[in-house]
Amino acid sequence: MNKINELRSIQERCESLEKNLNDVYNQLAVYARKVAKCRDEGDSFAECVQRFAESENVNRSIQHALTNFADIFSTLQTWRDFKVEKIENDILDEISVYGELCKKIKDEIRKGMNSSRVRSGSSENVSSSGDSRVENQIEKFEERKIKDVKKWFQKLVEIELLFHAKSLELWTEAYKYVASIEEETDLNDFRKRFPINSKAVKSSLKSDEKPLSSLRRFNSTPDVKNSESSMTASKTNTTTKAESADTKSTASDLDESESSSIDSESEKEEEKEKSEDREKRTKIRPDSGRR
């Protein structure tokens, strides 16, 4: 029973190994496809930069820098393609073999378990020899698996180190070309090719600066003294306006009172004249009794 339990544990271990290696294979294959897609996109980008450099016929330093940048970027994609090939040929192809190896070792373990269950006195020697053969195959399989796992991941690290070392070298060279762009020289080339009136440019710049200065004036923080003086002036203006309004109202009141007094005197004179007329009329009127 102990022998059968050991073989069953080894069988479970083999099944776990098969599953894990299958997952590693699938994910590494996805990674390789992503790198290959990045390589294709990198080639397209290098071609785009090359077209940009060819179309630039004024700025000579930009044209020179972008041309070399496109060449370096294209070379980087060549190394990326080499990385994909190494992953596929040196790692994925070898991992794919383990699917069949795991099936074979599981079959051998199953046979060993069956032979251990069927034991008789006449077949003890045959059974023991069969068990030893299964044990040797299991040990060889484990030894190969350990060596292969170590080799695969060492190769993967070496592939990545080689690619990144070359990438660092190429990117350093590309940076030097981009840094060599002469801004003043290219600007002078543009001015020679397309002469522009400097006075007109300066006047346009000044006209553009005017609204900005007005905005800065409105956005600036007001002075406290100026604000106080403005407030005092406004108060003085309001006080003066109020006094003038009071003066006007007083004058109008005086005018009204004078006009009313004049009207009353004229009325009195009219009444006096009317009374005198009435007295005269009574004196002239004949007496009613004499008739």
pLDDT over 80 at 141, yes or no = yes
Which tens digit of pLDDT belongs to each residue from 9-26? Answer: 888 999 999 999 999 999
Please indicate whether residue 232 or residue 95 has the higher confidence score (pLDDT).
95
pLDDT at residue 215, rounded to an integer = 47
Residue 46 lies in domain: 2-193
| Residue 173 shares a structural domain with residue 271 | no
The total number of structural domains that make up the chain: 2
Which tens digit of pLDDT belongs to each residue from 155-177? Answer: 999 999 999 999 999 999 999 99
| pLDDT tier for residue 39 given thresholds of 50, 70 and 90 | very high
In a domain, 12, yes or no: yes
| Residue 160 shares a structural domain with residue 266 | no
pLDDT at residue 284, rounded to an integer = 43
Give the C-alpha separation, 65 to 69, whole Å.
Answer: 6
| Residue 44 shares a structural domain with residue 185 | yes
pLDDT over 50 at 290, yes or no = no
| Residue 171 shares a structural domain with residue 41 | yes
| Residue 55 shares a structural domain with residue 147 | yes
Average pLDDT over the chain, rounded to an integer: 79
Q: pTM of the predicted model, to two decimals? A: 0.62
| Residue 134 shares a structural domain with residue 259 | no
Which tens digit of pLDDT belongs to each residue from 220-232? Answer: 444 545 555 555 5
In a domain, 185, yes or no: yes
| Residue 148 shares a structural domain with residue 272 | no
